[in-house]
Amino acid sequence: MDYSDDDGMVDTDSGEESLLSDNQVDSDYEFTDQDVDNASTSKRSQISYLVLKEEDVRKHQRTDIEQVSTVLSISQVEAIVLLLHYQWNVSKVEDEWFTDEKKVRELVGMLKEPVVDLNDREVNIECGICFDSYTQKEVTTLSCGHPYCNVCWTGYITTTINDGPGCLTVKCPEPSCSAVTACQYMVDKVITDKELKEKYYRYFVRSYVEASGNKIKWCPSPGCEYAIDFASGSRSEHYDVSCLCSYEFCWNCGEDAHRPVDCDTVSKWISKNTDESENTNWILANTKPCPNCKRQIEKSMGCNHMGCSICKHSFCWNCLGPMKGHRNCHKFKGGNETDVKRKRAKRAIDRYMHYYERWASNQSSRLIAMADLKKLQSVQLKWLSIRQGTTESQLQFTVEAWRQIIECRRVLKWTYAYGYYLPEEEQTKKEFFEYLQGEAEAGLERLHHCAEEELKHFVFETQDSSKNFGDFRRKLTGLTEATKTYFENLVKALENGLADVALSESSKSKTKSKPATKRRKLK
């Protein structure tokens, strides 16, 4: 890797260039406010995170390497060794170095003078691994001076890289020697395999991100090679970020983006969806124990005459009494503790399934909407442009509608997790939440139906294609704006913890608690 300034790295910190070209800037940045001015200066003022490409990470690495090399008056290879040892912490490298340079050199393995001096030898240099003799040009040494032929170095470095990320620094093969150098120096010198080099440089780039703590993180989407630099000191309380690969996730917990629901609720919900206790609840609600062997039995047919497949015991499903001599069990005798538990478990699992099914349904609808948007942008927008005799830019209202649908499906999905954990005793809050959720969901369904069904008439020129396209434009745009407003109100209320309801209840209780005052009768 060349650390000169000629690598064409884009400067993400200056105001001169953005990560991408001007027409792509929106996909690189996340804005904390909804109404942002179109000027780039206003956009930059609202940035809460940056999406970094691999070349951007390399630029940060190069800057740190050059700084350490210049300030400490050492080579760039030595600067890399120090930065790798101190987890890319430039200030710590400089502090430790100027406090005790000798101690740092011994700790890291950077020898100031070679142990073996080969300057006066041109030929007959013995390799410490294969013990053959070579010329000076055919051997390579570290700071210690121990000579090894390039063939042996190649095998040594290849094995080191294939062993994993530990290959970033390489130790002298001599067992008694503590000398260390940056593997990059040896990779550039003796490795010719392009795939092996790329593998090393991937480890090298990733080391910078992984050493940054919580400042930079890799996008968790499988196969994505972008990193997210979350702006330190950002005033934004929201952690949802959108990568260039289109994957959206929560910076704080790493799960799918889940605003307005907090990370703790999401963690509990995901755990519940995979919890074995739900299987236990299902068993308790939908099966009964055989009265004889106590094995759980599920009723799969209509007849109440049950036969245990294990012990062959015959019994009645309703009363669990033996079928021999069984008459009727229709008289109410009062529920025992087991029946009460079973009913309670059935209610609990029915409640959970209500929220889970709607959570999963909205996720499924969102994935379908994402596929529909992709189809619209790749094929249908062009057809619509030709048939309506207008430019694709004037048809962007259809794209905005689908984007709104996708975002609203995501929000609506997580409101069902929120609703599940909303305490049932807080009835006023529950009613207010369900009202907001219902209004938002109804608005979304109207928008989704319009975008999914009515748009087809104009794209595929069906029998209803004579409809006025202008009317359709106004309808879809209006539904998009109305749905956006519904969901903004829902998100705001949930992020405030439904505080408006709490304030309303508080004011009512204060009014009720005031003593009644009697008016004095005027004579």
Which residues have a catalytic role annotated? 303
| Alpha helix segments (H runs only) across 100-249 | 101-108, 150-162, 183-190, 194-210
Query: And the tokens for 58?
Result: 């390399």
Total Cβ atoms within 10 A of residue 334: 5
SS3 content of the chain, % helix, strand, coil (to 5): 55, 10, 35
Helices (H), 275-336: 276-286
Q: At what angle do helices 396-421 and 427-449 cross, to 10 degrees?
A: 160
Q: Are strands 287-289 and 296-298 parallel, antiparallel or unpaired?
A: antiparallel
Cβ distance 349 to 389 under 8 Å?
no
Return d(Cα 471, Cα 486) in angstroms, integer: 22
How is residue 191 written in tokens? 């490795």
The residue type at 159? T
What residue ranges in 290-413 does DSSP mark as E strands?
296-298, 305-307, 314-316
Please tell me the distance from the alpha carbon of residue 147 to that of residue 128, in angstroms, as a whole number. Answer: 6
Measured torsion, CA atoms of residues 224, 204, 214, 12, in degrees rounded to the nearest 10: -70
**Residues 313 and 290: beta-carbon distance below 8 Å:** yes
